[in-house]
Amino acid sequence: MRRQLFTALSGVGVCLLAYLFAFGPSVTTVRAKELVVRVPGDFPTIQAAIDAVDTTIVRGPNDVVRIRVAAGVYNEHVLVTKSRISIEGKRPEFKFSSTAGREVLVGGTIIDGAGLAPADDHVGVNPSSGVVTDVTFENLGTRNARSNDANFGVDAGGGTAKRITFRHLMVEFRDDNDLSFSRFPNGDLKLFPQNTDPGGCPNPGGGPLQFNPCSDGSAAFFEAVGVFLFLNVEDSLVEDVVVIGDDPRGNNALEGSNNTKAGFSAGLFDIGGSRNTFRHNRVSKVWRGLQFSGSTDGLAEENEVSETRVGITLNGAVRATVSHNSATMSGNDARPLDYPVPCPNDFVSGEDRCHAGGGMWVRSPNTTLDSKIEHNKSVDNQGSALLWGTASPPSMANLILHNEFGGTCDLRIGSPPSCVTSDAAATAADPDPGKTNLFDKNKYR
């Protein structure tokens, strides 16, 4: 009986399907296509290929354009303002040059900014006032980004960028980009922008920018950034990017010994982004390694940062996660040799500027909330392995768990800051009156 019923129902099903195919609504499935163009085969430059998308290169509403770039050096800026574009090259590599005295990029696909007028992003995405989604940069290298530029970046100050991927990239910082300085009577640096960029280093008060080399707090001027996500950047990925500079422990940015090193550099930077991930990256010999600011809720995991002034910084992060990273051999102990007076305490960190910086900072003046700092290794640092700033209101409701600290000072916390070597002491010195931050199961040297 059950078998007869199943057979009868099956017959009804077959009839119903036949009816639907004959008289039911018609559904058309459109598959996205991948359109491949080559540089320099189809277009002479990378930007020419990008500009041709949706004009010369006609595509459907879901189609992806893959721009495959041959090995070579391309002297151009690259700006993407359209969705569903992938720029893919051949990854270069770093090799030590005895002539340059440092590691330089060789081989592969290199996008070089030498001699070009500055741009906000040397290679990047700008959604202007709209939305740009699903853009990928992969297996590329950059060098010679100009003053205040990002080597790779997204400038979403006026629009929104979603699902932007930076993967398998190599960034070479150059320290010869024509910055110069003189000094105010009190010894503060007087920075001048590059000659070709008279507005590149503006001072709202007029005149050149004034910088006190004893204070990180006035470090508002960046020479360049490796990968910079700015404002409305969402659900994006920075993965397997290598950034190598020429500024071990941040000393060059301070000393300016050859009159061309009065700038700053940062490896990876996210200001105001949402749900962005930084994973498996390596940064060394820049001013700051990786920084989350502007209420960023990003994820930083399994990154390696070394020989910076400060390895990893949270400055106003909210619900961010910093996990399984290493920050080593960072911080510096050298006051600028030509600074005319002894360095005062760094007004941001409270540390003696002659022995400052370190592995990780949760720094002032912005409050970090509901974030996780766990399973990180911050060791062999000068200055603090972890500096806990005295923001007002204080940083609250953060979890600091299972980290390994090792530096001139393991954990500097409190007001005024002091060094502590246990979770209990960190909790007691926590500037949060409610003691809502949890320091637990951390290892101190």
Cα distance from N-terminal residue to C-terminal residue, the chain? 78
pLDDT at 147: 53
Distance separating alpha carbons of residues 6 and 3, to the nearest angstrom: 5
Judge whether 232 and 156 are in contact, CB under 8 Å.
yes
Q: Which residues contact 64 (CB under 8 A, 6 or more apart)?
A: 32, 33, 34, 35, 84, 85, 86, 134
pLDDT at 5: 28
Judge whether 198 and 279 are in contact, CB under 8 Å.
no
Q: How many helices (H) and strands (E) does the chain have?
A: 4, 33
| Number of alpha carbons in the 13 Å side-chain half-sphere of residue 156 | 26
pLDDT at 49: 97
Q: Which residues contact 357 (CB under 8 A, 6 or more apart)?
A: 216, 249, 250, 308, 309, 310, 330, 331, 332, 381, 382, 383
Q: What's at 320, amino acid-wise? A: A
At residue 131, the 3 state secondary structure works out as strand
Kindly write down the DSSP assignment for every residue of 382-395, as one continuous string. Answer: EEEEEEE---SSPP
CA 237 to chain centre: 10
pLDDT at 418: 83
Tally of residues, the chain: 445
pLDDT at 148: 58
Domains observed in the chain: 64-444 (2.160.20)
Distance separating alpha carbons of residues 251 and 357, to the nearest angstrom: 11
Of 94, 234, 114, residue with least CA distance to 171:
94
pLDDT at 247: 66
Of 147, 146, 164, 284, residue with least CA distance to 231:
164
40-47 contacts, C-beta under 8 A, 24 or more apart: 40/70, 40/72, 41/70, 45/74, 45/76, 46/74, 46/76, 46/78, 46/87, 46/111, 47/76, 47/77, 47/78, 47/79
Can you give the pLDDT of all 445 residues of the chain as single tens digits?
333 323 333 344 444 334 434 444 443 344 568 999 999 999 999 999 999 999 999 999 899 999 999 999 999 999 999 999 999 999 999 999 998 888 999 999 999 988 887 777 889 999 988 999 999 999 999 998 765 568 999 998 889 999 999 999 999 976 444 444 455 555 544 444 332 333 333 333 444 444 444 443 333 345 578 999 999 999 999 999 999 987 666 554 443 333 334 446 789 999 999 999 999 999 998 878 999 999 999 999 999 999 887 899 999 999 999 999 999 988 765 443 333 344 444 433 444 444 457 899 897 677 999 999 999 999 998 778 998 987 778 899 999 999 999 988 899 898 777 889 999 999 999 999 999 999 999 999 8
pLDDT at 170: 97
User: CB atoms < 10 A from the CB of 233, how many?
Assistant: 29
* Residue 38 β-bridge partners: 68
Q: Work out the burial of residue 39: count CB atoms within 10 Å of its CB; fewer than 13 is exposed, 13-18 middle, 19 or more buried.
A: buried
| Block residue for tokens 């979890």 | 399
